[in-house]
Structure 1
Amino acid sequence: MKKNIAILMGGYSSEFEISIQSGNVVYKYLDKDQYRPFRIHITKDGWYYVDDHDQKHNIDKNDFSVLLEGTKITFDAAFNTVHGTPGEDGLLQAYFELIEIPQTSCDFYQAGLTFNKRDCISALKPYGIPTATNYFLNKGDAIDSKAILDKVGLPCFVKANKAGSSYGVSKVKKTEELLPAIETAYKEDDEIIIESFLSGTEVSVGVIQHNGIDTVLPITEIVTENEFFDYEAKYLGQSEEITPARLSTEDTKKVHDLALKVYQILKMKGFSRSEYIFHNGEPHFVEMNTNPGLSEASILPQQAQKAGISLKELFSNAIESCINQSK
């Protein structure tokens, strides 16, 4: 008997449309012989099952069910492709844990921790994970530009603490650019992280659970035409993504082992994609995405295919893993 799978997409953040793309790719490639997929749009106005005629059917949030032609449909698992809140910050994860429906991403605590860049870095530092030098600001704090730049130097990056797809990120080269960059970041979040610039090769590392084993996928090197791997570089073709990365055997092992260590320190499960920069010969952790993009052109699917894992297998494995872990 086919399993009913809710493919969650949308969300409440600037990443709404990107999430819809990811969800539609999962819908396209999901094994229809094993699963009966339902596209579920998560929006601020409501949660809906969107059928093949683009008709909306309300989701009953009491038990995450939908009524179709007088029949109540419930779900065996939820495939979480919501980028940003509420799918990547722990809210949906906690909801599904309460109503006892397995979902494909990490648990709620890990989602909340990794979504908060400042907290994630702070949690990793006692384990000796190298990161940039950073400075934290909350909205309303006094801004001491001299103290900030004395600590992180120029150039530096100003980032919204809880946002994805490089929304609210600016590279600051001059002192006078700092305050406008802070204002830009505050448009996305009321918390900010300001980081020293790390010069070196940037790589993206996917780590997943595959057949019950924590698995590091082939590493991707990011070569961008822009100042950094920003929205345009990620989604509008203004970057080159080279998989496998052009790293020495030694450097490949360094970042492979570090990415696996970070995944396991944080007690992750499901998909993750983390960014690292080789600075002074050593990989430095930048951030982790626990619901990475899943379009055909996205990095993690590219890495999986290089590892010989088709999208059909990748998605089936994620569903079966979360169902088995819930038993």
Structure 2
Amino acid sequence: MKKNIAIVSGGDSSEIVVSLKSAEGIYSFIDKNKYNLYIAIVKKGEWCVRQENGETTPIDKNDFSFRKGNEIVHFDFAYITIHGTPGENGLLQGYFEMIGLPYSSCNVLVSALTFDKHVCKNYLKGFGIKVADSVYLHKGEVIKAEEIVKKLGLPVFVKPNADGSSFGVTKVKEIAQLQDALAKAFQEDNEVLIERFLNGTEVTCGCYKVKGKSVVFPLTEVVTENEFFDFDAKYNGQVSEITPARIATELTEKVQLLTSEIYDLLGAKGIIRVDYIIEDGEPYMLEVNTTPGMTATSFIPQQVRAAGLDIKEVMNEIIENEINN
């Protein structure tokens, strides 16, 4: 009998549009001969399942079931692909833990930790992982621009502490631009990071581990003519994504080993993706993505293909690893 899989998308942040695209990608990747697939949309005021005819059916929050005709459908597994709250910060993971539904991503603690860039960077820094120097600010805090520039130099990146897809991110080249950049970031989050500019090659590396098996994907090199890898670069084609990355084998292996180490240090689960800037031969971790984008052109599917793997098999391993846990 086929297992019922919920591909959980949506969310309450600006990244909802990306999440819905990722859900379509995952729907195409999972073996439909093995599983019954349903796209669930979870956002404030609406939890529903999208039926094949396009209509939506409410989800019963008591057990995450829904009605299909005269039948009540219960799920065996949830593949979370919400980028942002509540699917990337541990809230949804906690709910699934409480109702006993296996899910694809990191647990409550790890999801919350990685979602908070400031906390995650400082946690991993304690284990010797290199990260960019930064200043952490709360909304309403008095900004001392001169002190920030003295510490970090220029340019700097101003970004929301807990958001993704480059929403609210600005590359600041002059001190006069700092206040506007902060205002933009604070529209997305109540906490903001100002990071030192790392001058180097941007790469990203995916990884997953299941019982008795560890897989680290080839690196993707990110090249854009834009000021940085912003939303247009990510989703509107203003970028070259080169997989495998055009860097030396020794450096590639160093980043792959580092990605595997970060996976273990966090106690991660499912597929994660770690972003880096390589400056003067040293990889600096930018952030850890525990629900990485999964559209057909996203980094992870690119890396799976470059590794010579079948993405249906990768999805199957992740699902079965949790269902049979």
The TM-score, its normalising length taken from structure 1, stands at 0.97
Question: What count of residue pairs does the alignment treat as equivalent?
Answer: 325
What CA deviation, in whole Å up to 9, does each residue of 1:181-211 have, x standing for no partner? 0000001000001100000111001111256
Q: Distance in 2 between matches of 1:221 and 1:56?
A: 39
What CA deviation, in whole Å up to 9, does each residue of 1:150-186 have, x standing for no partner? 1111001001000010111100000001110000000
Aligned to 1:47: 47
Aligned to 2:172: 172
Q: How does 1:34-183 map to 2 (within 5 A)?
A: 34-183=34-183
Aligned partner of 1:305: which letter? R
Q: Distance in 1 between matches of 2:66 and 2:278?
A: 48
- Give the stretch that moved more between structures: 243-252 or 24-33: 24-33
Q: How does 1:1-327 map to 2 (within 5 A)?
A: 1-209=1-209, 212-325=212-325
Q: Distance in 1 between matches of 2:119 and 2:318?
A: 27
Q: Aligned Cα RMSD in Å?
A: 1.1
Gaps of at least 5 residues in structure 2 are none
Q: Distance in 2 between matches of 1:134 and 1:98?
A: 36
Q: Distance in 2 between matches of 1:297 and 1:147?
A: 41
Q: Secondary structure at the match of 2:232?
A: helix
Aligned partner of 2:311: which letter? L
What CA deviation, in whole Å up to 9, does each residue of 1:228-286 have, x standing for no partner? 11111111111101111111122112111111111111111101111111112100001
Aligned partner of 1:295: which letter? T
Gaps of at least 5 residues in structure 1 are none
Q: Distance in 2 between matches of 1:212 and 1:88?
A: 26
Q: Distance in 2 between matches of 1:237 and 1:288?
A: 23
Q: Secondary structure at the match of 2:199?
A: coil
Q: Secondary structure at the match of 1:49?
A: strand
Q: Distance in 1 between matches of 2:172 and 2:159?
A: 11
Q: Distance in 2 between matches of 1:175 and 1:3?
A: 56
1:70 CA displacement: 2.4
Q: Distance in 2 between matches of 1:210 and 1:246?
A: 29
- Give the stretch that moved more between structures: 208-217 or 279-288: 208-217
What CA deviation, in whole Å up to 9, does each residue of 1:132-156 have, x standing for no partner? 1110000011111011111111001
The TM-score, its normalising length taken from structure 2, stands at 0.98
1:27 CA displacement: 1.5
Task: Kindly report structure 1 stretches of 4+ aligned residues shifted beyond 6 Å.
Answer: none
What CA deviation, in whole Å up to 9, does each residue of 1:61-94 have, x standing for no partner? 0111112222211111001111111111111111
Q: Secondary structure at the match of 1:127?
A: coil
Q: Secondary structure at the match of 1:238?
A: coil
Q: Distance in 2 between matches of 1:41 and 1:309?
A: 29
* Identical amino acids, percent of aligned pairs: 46
